Amino acid sequence: MNKARIQDLKELIAHESEGPVLSVFCRTDPRDPANSSETPAWSIALKNGLSAICASQNGDHDQSQAVKKLCSEAERRIAKVSASERGRSVALFLGGGGKLDSFTTFQIPVRNDYVTVDSGPVVWPMLDVIDRGQRTGLVLLSQDRIRLLEWSDGTTRDLEESTFDLELGDWHQYRGPARPQGTVGGGGVSNVSAYGDRVEAWRSRFLKEAAKAIAESANDLGFDRLVAAAEGELGAGFNEALPAEMRSRLATTVHLNLIDLSAAEAGAALDPHLRQAWRDSVAGTGATALARSQAGDRAVSGPDEVLLALGEGRVEHLICDPYLATEEDGLSEGSRQAIRDAGEASVQEAMVELALRTDARVSSASVEEVPALGEADGALALLRY
């Protein structure tokens, strides 16, 4: 996880604001075909969302005026931001009295354009982007080189001392004279075959040494996972050569040779595989959480049980569907108290903020991405104890 981003979010939800807080998320990704027109889709969604928020303010006059002022300021702020500053998505939080003002750019698009107003910032879309952008080591393999790159928050960069080369030294391919006709072979091998065997033995040793070095670097750098790109049998050999603990962090191996690409090009080529690796991982974790909860083994399912565990600080990993509305009426008093403690109107946002405050990992996912959520009313959690 990006610890700096998480700390920023903790400070954000702890921030005291006078009056309402406007939370705005724009999917500004220029790769999205809907954003290719003169008036991009995110701009239209922003205007419509802000208009809907203003139109919904039919209560207290002072609050209504405060919300309209925040909406006007949000539209002005985002409109003046350059395309490079917008990246692939932006998050803007504005609070009454000017005490809360936070603007963040991401290189991973938010799921949807989203505008809402509440008593505090609504942060689940931002935490969702952070979870999908977890720090990843990209391992690029060829027959004689291995490169380790860092991918985080949608950006790929080279690392110092990240290339491991297979050095042949003064070896060279020697072709000796052919055996005389009629000579019976005695089980020997040609110089060419001997050379080939020596190269393969050297490559095997090189792969093991490089895998060990990459595992050490990945641990030192705190990577959450690895993704490898290699042609042929290289990927399988690298997987086998990794130490067991690091092997569990190898999310996927892609059959591509990207060794000579720039960091940005390699990241772009692996982008769809990184997204799929996240979906596969969260779906697997959701299935595990559901199975454990049914067996009574350090996991719970359903909003009520999850909220109770969150209130006690026992959750290690929360998986929830933020779009699946949950009513408080069917919840226990303990869960309703946890929601009050979180200070949020939405049950899903309350779960997310309680998890954030207790250092639990949060994964937002739909029922389509994590089928187990469909059997758990949109909430699952692995427990610490």
The pLDDT score that the predictor gives to residue 235 is: 87
Residue range 196-214: mean pLDDT, rounded: 77
Is 310 a residue whose pLDDT tops 70? Answer: yes
d(CA 383, CA 284): 16
pLDDT one-digit tens code per residue, 243-265: 998 999 999 999 999 999 999 99
The pLDDT score that the predictor gives to residue 289 is: 98
Give the confidence band of 57 by pLDDT, cuts at 50, 70, 90. Answer: confident
Contact (CB, 8 A) for 108 and 5: no
Residues of the chain above pLDDT 90, percent:
62
Letter for the amino acid at 42?
W
The pLDDT score that the predictor gives to residue 196 is: 61
- Cβ-count burial of 126 within 10 angstroms (0-12 exposed, 13-18 middle, 19+ buried)? buried
What's the CA angle centered on 233, arms 230 and 239, to 5 degrees?
75
- What is the average pLDDT value for the chain, to the nearest integer? 87
Contact (CB, 8 A) for 54 and 114: no
Select the more confidently predicted residue: 369 or 201: 369
Which residue, among 379, 381, 382, has the nearest Cα to 320 in the 3D structure? 379
Select the more confidently predicted residue: 141 or 381: 381
Is 381 a residue whose pLDDT tops 90? Answer: yes
Is 213 a residue whose pLDDT tops 90? Answer: no
Give the confidence band of 172 by pLDDT, cuts at 50, 70, 90. Answer: very low
d(CA 212, CA 241): 8
d(CA 200, CA 220): 30
Is 301 a residue whose pLDDT tops 90? Answer: yes
The pLDDT score that the predictor gives to residue 194 is: 65
Is 15 a residue whose pLDDT tops 70? Answer: yes
The pLDDT score that the predictor gives to residue 191 is: 64
The pLDDT score that the predictor gives to residue 168 is: 42
Residue range 271-286: mean pLDDT, rounded: 96
Q: What is the pTM of this model?
A: 0.84
The pLDDT score that the predictor gives to residue 211 is: 87
pLDDT one-digit tens code per residue, 97-143: 778 999 999 999 999 999 999 888 999 999 999 999 999 999 999 88
d(CA 354, CA 134): 20
Q: Mind listing the domains of the chain with CATH numbers?
A: 3-132 (3.30.960.10), 136-173+189-260 (3.30.420.60), 283-383 (3.30.1330.30)
Is 186 a residue whose pLDDT tops 60? Answer: no
Select the more confidently predicted residue: 59 or 34: 34
Look up tokens 């469909």; give the residue: 374
Letter for the amino acid at 185?
G
pLDDT one-digit tens code per residue, 26-48: 999 999 999 999 999 999 999 99
The pLDDT score that the predictor gives to residue 177 is: 39
The pLDDT score that the predictor gives to residue 183 is: 40
Q: How many CB atoms lie within 10 A of CB 318?
A: 25
The pLDDT score that the predictor gives to residue 77 is: 94
Letter for the amino acid at 51?
S
Is 169 a residue whose pLDDT tops 50? Answer: no
d(CA 4, CA 7): 5
